[in-house]
Amino acid sequence: MTKGQLVLETGEVFTGDWLGYESEVTGEVVFNTSMTGYQEIFTDPSYAGQIITLTYPIVGNYGMNSINIESDRLQIAGVIINDLCDKPSHFQAKTTLSEELKQNRIPGLKNVDTRALVAVIRKRRTVKGRIVLEKAFPDYKYSFSIPNTKHLVQKVSVKQPIQLGKGDCHIVVLDFGYKKSIVEGLLNHHCKVTIMPFSEKSASIQALNPDGIIISNGPGNPKELQLYFPVVKKLTENYPTLGICLGHQLIALAYGADTEKLPFGHRGSNHPVKDLLTGKVKITSQNHGYVVRKDSIDPTIFLPLFQHVNDGTIEGMKHHFLPITTVQFHPESHPGPSDTAYIMTEFMEQVRHLGGITYAQSIK
């Protein structure tokens, strides 16, 4: 069996057995604590450019199918796991995890001490790493350069507008790396959905005469997308808007707030978030390495809506005067709990109310 290594830029080396496509790759090394949902994680565009470490010890036991996907391909740069199950048992399984990794030309390592790796990530904070073939005497220095955020977003965003559904309410998704579950949620609310490339001009979007806007999730550092802040601000000033994950950060930045990198991110399906209006705690699915700085939010513009229970970071905002709501987590879940699915419902009710259409009327 081919041996491989994960070499961190901080000097640590973790050895394992090769998994998937045999090719060396560099990425930001992060970890996800979800017990299930590896297929949704691997196909989530927000993970573009990242080497994912899964903390759950056994991966692959229910295989890969054509249903639980968040995009048209695997998006991760690489994967690190402990124990691989390559004989899945599930009636929907079409391929194994290792087969899918090979088909998508994605390398990985198995039989790695993932507990020790996560401990290093938590100690060192998120670091870059490179998956390499094991060499007794490496004859070159490892490169840890990774693509910038604009390059990652260009890779995962749609290249041409895509229109889906025939509902009475038209929602435009500005695509920085949207998850399929977001669009499915909109279609379930009887919407016509147009997915637009992230670089689209505001005039082109306004020409579509949308009833509402969703600024999607996506990969990377939101500050590296400064070029698109004016478009985000103009759209939010003119249409009811829901910002999700990266979309939440972009809206905050467009209105003068600041973001910062977390020590090792929030990635998992059991993150507790407190609703600051009701005091209730929701369990959420999250995937982000950056947050909006609480002290940078102008209290005359935005009201904080949600706060992470573990570290107190801001997880959502609401504009005082405009119909703008943002969340740092995934209200559509997949994978994860559906505690916050009501956020999408409330957004659609707001859109239809402002457009003179009640939700009850729309589903008759």
Confidence at residue 138, expressed as pLDDT on a 0 to 100 scale = 62
Residue 322: count of CB within 10 angstroms of its CB: 16
* pLDDT at position 358: 45
Per DSSP bridges, beta strands 127-133 and 25-32 are antiparallel
Domains of the chain: 3-146 (3.50.30.20), 156-362 (3.40.50.880)
Confidence of residue 336 (pLDDT cuts 50, 70, 90): confident
Query: Which entry of 40, 100, 315, 332 is annotated as an active-site residue?
Result: 332
Q: Which of 266, 288, 330, 334 is catalytic?
A: 330
- Looking at 100, 245, 271, 308, which residue is catalytic? 245
- Check if 85 is active-site: no
DSSP letter string over 133-200?
E--SS--SPPP-----HHHHHHHHS-SS-EEE---SEEEEEEESS--HHHHHHHHHTTEEEEEEETT-
Task: Name which of 3, 19, 9, 146 is nearest 74 in CA terms.
Answer: 19
Question: Catalytic annotation on 330?
Answer: yes
Is 245 considered catalytic here?
yes
Global pTM reads 0.95
| pLDDT at position 197 over 60 | yes
Residues 6+ apart with CB under 8 A from 246: 46, 176, 177, 215, 216, 217, 218, 219, 220, 222, 288
| Single-letter amino acid, residue 302 | F
Q: Which residues contact 55 (CB under 8 A, 6 or more apart)?
A: 31, 32, 33, 114, 115, 118
Report whether pLDDT(171) > 90. Answer: yes
Q: Tell me the average pLDDT across 340-344.
A: 93
